[in-house]
């Protein structure tokens, strides 16, 4: 079992007002190596909190998260994170951003630049090596962020709504790009992918976790084993049925979250 | 006629240069015409032509260049000292959260005290001369540098720090490749504002403190202006000093602005 969450829960304490917010849990989850797991749920259901705990950026107030049986205590390059707004370093070029993780490993300049160039080829950013993030379009930034994460070759990819800021057309193309990058290699990476978009989850994932409204609990754990490659599934009736099935699970919670 | 003038300004290439100078030229002309009416040529109201003559005389005698050089070295030294202390302190205060509670009240108590209020103490401690002036300058430069550096550090996007940590950045790498570059625009802004404050402070300080006997070839521009005020009533020389001070301040500020633009192209600078 690659990733395990045991009785995981998170309560945020507002130091000033004394309010306690039960953001997440308790949650029990087991993810196998190489699985692509999507997490969907209404706004505020704690999806990002769950990711933050798995990334080691948040310490849970209850329970534990394990990677390969070992407790997750902090961030590390074994779990790569793709943030919603990409979090690219604005003062570094595309090449430098991608090479950052390699620099952290102590790799020499020549070596890490050639590594980074390979990744640039892989994500399709050739010609933009010396550009800065503010000169790139949304789709390009997303690819740069992905390349940066892949550079350190993590076994686990934690992605927090990475395509949320993209327009619909770019998003469709990027989804295919992501699947191509993920499917490469003998050992597929384990992916936890948070999204608001149900059709995105059905398109990408092997398995879909549906979360309830706050405090976020796992409402359903749905198998999503359409054949790969999935370019054609959007035209299949089973695709729409799956989306409707999941939406009916979330719908009431979503309405509640909106009116609260 | 105004429309004709306007169309000339827009159409001709030299119109671009003339436009910002138009109002100053008109004001200068008015000044030149008014001055002789009010008083004698170099009396209460010096004329522009008198000021230009003053510039020439002071430059040729070497007094203006040497005073300017003296003031610039003082502000340069004061700036370097205060900048180093200010940035280091801000980094420490940011890093050690507790330090903020301890240091902040001190900073906020002293910040409103004008630099020139320290002149008597400065003279007592350093004597009249270069070091007292440098002390005043350092004091003035310190606060904008410290406050801006700290603000820059505190407003660093936490996401960027998180991203760096998830990529396995060492503590050393965090400071060198993430924190400092991220805070650099604010640090440069602090330097720019500090320099402005320092330049203003040096003039005031030199008027009281700068002295030929205290070390340094001359007493700086402030001293030069003060001597002309008290020992001769050559007002045009004082105006020469004022204009020089203003122009140099503007040039220094432009340099900083250029640095700001170069190091942070992703930010719009005012």
- How distant, in Å, are the alpha carbons of A176, B115, B220 from that of A91? 29, 36, 40
A140 has a pLDDT exceeding 50: yes
Three-class secondary structure assignment of B144-198: HHHHHHHHHHHCCCHHHHHHHHHCCCCHHHHHHHHHHHHHHHHHHHHHHHHHHHH
Q: What is the number of domains present in chain A?
A: 1
Residue A224: give the domain boundaries.
3-78+154-259
Which percentage of chain B shows pLDDT scores above 90? 21
Which residues in chain B (137-166) have CB-CB distances under 8 A to chain A? 157, 159-160, 162-166
Question: How far is the C-alpha of A90 from the C-alpha of B269, rounded, in Å?
Answer: 15
Give B165 to chain A, closest Cα distance, Å.
6
On whether residue A143 sits in a domain, the answer given is no
CB-CB neighbors (< 8 A) of B184 in chain A: 91
- Closest-CA residue of B relative to A151 is B167
Closest CB to B181: pick one of A76, A91, A152.
Answer: A91
Mutate: best of A90, A98, A158, partner B, most B CBs <10 A? A90
Task: Retrieve residue A167's tokens.
Answer: 């327009």
* Pick from A138-142, A241-245, B166-170, B235-239: least confident: B235-239
Domains and CATH numbers, chain B: 49-263 (1.10.3720.10)
Measure A91 CA to nearest chain B CA, in Å: 7
> Is the pLDDT assigned to residue A158 strictly greater than 60?
yes
Burial of B27 (0-12, 13-18, 19+ CB in 10 A): exposed
Residue B216 binned pLDDT confidence (cut-offs 50, 70, 90): very low
A216 beta partners: A24
- The CA distance from B143 to B115, in Å, is 10
pLDDT band at A241 (very low <50, low <70, confident <90, very high): very high
Under a CB-based contact definition with an 8 Å cutoff, are residues B197 and B142 in contact?
Answer: no
Cross-chain Cβ contact A148/B167 below 8 Å: yes
Q: How far apart are CA B21 and CA A20, in angstroms?
A: 63
Chain B hits for A57, Cβ within 8 Å = 162, 165-166
Tell me the nearest-neighbour CA distance from A229 into chain B, angstroms: 30
Confidence of residue B42 (pLDDT cuts 50, 70, 90): very low
| Contact yes or no for A252/A208 (Cβ under 8 A) | no
Q: Is the pLDDT of residue B269 over 60?
A: no
Arithmetic mean of pLDDT, A50-70: 91
For chain B, what percent of residues have pLDDT higher than 70?
A: 81
CB B135 within 8 A of CB B122: yes
Distance CA A69, CA A5 (A): 10
Is A61 inside any structural domain? yes
Residue B37 has pLDDT above 70, yes or no: no
Q: The CATH number of the domain where A232 resides is what? A: 3.40.50.300
Confidence of residue B15 (pLDDT cuts 50, 70, 90): low
ipTM of the complex: 0.87
The number of C-beta contacts closer than 8 angstroms across A and B is 69
Distance of CA A42 to the CA centre of its chain: 16
A133/B177 touch (CB, cutoff 8 Å), yes or no: no
Task: Sort strands A20-31 and A62-67 into parallel, antiparallel or unpaired.
Answer: unpaired
Interchain CB distance below 8 Å, A104 and B166: no
Tell me: pLDDT of A185 over 80. Answer: no
Mutate to test the interface with B, among A67, A100, A151 (most CBs of B within 10 A): A100
B266 with A132: Cβ contact below 8 A: yes
Rounded to an integer, the average pLDDT of B172-195 is 91
Is the confidence at residue B213, as pLDDT, over 60? Answer: no
- Is A74 part of any domain? yes
Residues 60-119 of B with CB under 8 A from A: none
The total number of residues written for chain B in this structure: 270
Distance from CA of B162 to the nearest CA of A (A): 7
Task: Tell me how close the Cα of B264 comes to any Cα of chain A, in angstroms.
Answer: 7
- Domain presence at residue A147: no
Region A219-248 average pLDDT: 90
pLDDT top residue among B51 and A150:
A150
* Among the partner residues A89, A105, A133, nearest to B168 by beta-carbon distance: A105
Q: How confident is the model at residue B218 (pLDDT cuts 50, 70, 90)?
A: low
Which of the given ranges, A106-115, B218-227, B242-251, has the highest pLDDT on average?
A106-115
Residue B225: pLDDT band by 50, 70, 90 thresholds? Answer: confident
Mean pLDDT (chain B, rounded)? 81
Tell whether B168 is within 8 A of chain A (Cβ).
Answer: yes
B202 phi and psi angles, rounded to 5 deg: -65, -40
Distance between CA atoms of residues A233 and A242, nearest Å? 11
Q: Is B174 on the interface with A (CB under 8 A)?
A: no
């Amino acid at each position: 079992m690659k990733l395990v969450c045991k009785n995981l829960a998170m309560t945020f304490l507002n130091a000033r007002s004394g309010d306690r917010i039960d953001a997440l849990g308790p949650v029990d989850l087991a993810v196998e190596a190489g699985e692509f797991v999507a997490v969907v749920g209404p706004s505020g259901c704690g999806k990002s909190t769950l990711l933050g705990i798995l990334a080691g950026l948040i310490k849970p107030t209850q329970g534990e998260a394990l990677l390969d049986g070992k407790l997750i205590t902090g961030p590390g390059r074994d779990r790569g994170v793709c943030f919603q707004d990409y979090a690219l370093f604005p003062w570094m070029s595309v090449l430098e951003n991608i090479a950052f993780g390699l620099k952290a490993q102590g790799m020499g300049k020549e070596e890490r630049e050639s590594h980074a160039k390979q990744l640039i080829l892989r994500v399709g950013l050739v010609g933009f090596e010396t550009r800065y993030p503010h000169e790139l379009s949304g789709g390009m930034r997303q690819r740069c962020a992905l390349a940066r994460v892949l550079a350190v070759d993590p076994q686990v990819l934690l992605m927090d709504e990475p395509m949320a800021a993209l327009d619909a057309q770019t998003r469709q193309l990027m989804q295919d790009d992501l699947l191509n990058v993920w499917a490469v290699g003998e050992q597929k990476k384990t992916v936890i992918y948070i999204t608001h978009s149900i059709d995105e989850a059905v398109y990408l994932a092997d398995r879909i976790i549906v979360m309830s409204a706050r405090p976020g609990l796992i409402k359903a754990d749905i198998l999503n084993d359409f054949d790969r490659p999935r370019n054609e599934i959007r035209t299949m009736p089973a695709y729409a049925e799956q989306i409707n099935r999941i939406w009916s699970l979330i719908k009431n919670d979503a309405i509640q979250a909106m009116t609260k | 006629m105004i429309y004709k003038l306007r169309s000339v300004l827009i159409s001709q290439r030299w119109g671009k240069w003339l436009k910002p100078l138009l109002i100053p030229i008109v004001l200068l002309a008015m000044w030149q015409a008014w001055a002789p009416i009010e008083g004698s040529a170099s009396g209460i109201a010096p004329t522009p032509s008198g000021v230009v003559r003053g510039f020439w005389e002071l430059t040729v005698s070497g007094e203006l260049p040497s005073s300017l050089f003296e003031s610039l070295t003082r502000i340069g030294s004061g700036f370097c000292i205060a900048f180093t202390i200010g940035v280091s302190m801000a980094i420490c205060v940011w890093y050690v959260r507790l330090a903020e509670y301890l240091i902040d009240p001190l900073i906020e108590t002293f910040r409103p005290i004008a630099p020139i209020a320290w002149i008597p103490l400065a003279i007592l401690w350093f004597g009249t001369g270069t070091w007292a002036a440098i002390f005043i300058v350092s004091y003035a430069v310190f606060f904008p540098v410290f406050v801006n550096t700290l603000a820059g550090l505190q407003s660093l996007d936490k996401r960027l720090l998180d991203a760096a940590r998830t990529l396995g950045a060492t503590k050393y790498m965090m400071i060198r490749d993430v924190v400092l570059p991220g805070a650099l625009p604010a640090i440069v802004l602090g330097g720019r504002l500090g320099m402005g404050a320092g330049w203003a402070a040096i003039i005031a300080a030199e008027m009281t403190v700068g002295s030929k006997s205290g070390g340094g070839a001359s007493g700086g521009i402030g001293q030069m202006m003060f001597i002309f005020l008290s020992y001769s009533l050559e007002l045009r020389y004082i105006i020469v000093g004022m204009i020089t001070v203003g122009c140099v301040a503007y040039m220094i500020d432009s340099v900083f602005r250029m640095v700001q633009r170069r190091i942070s192209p992703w930010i719009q600078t005012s």
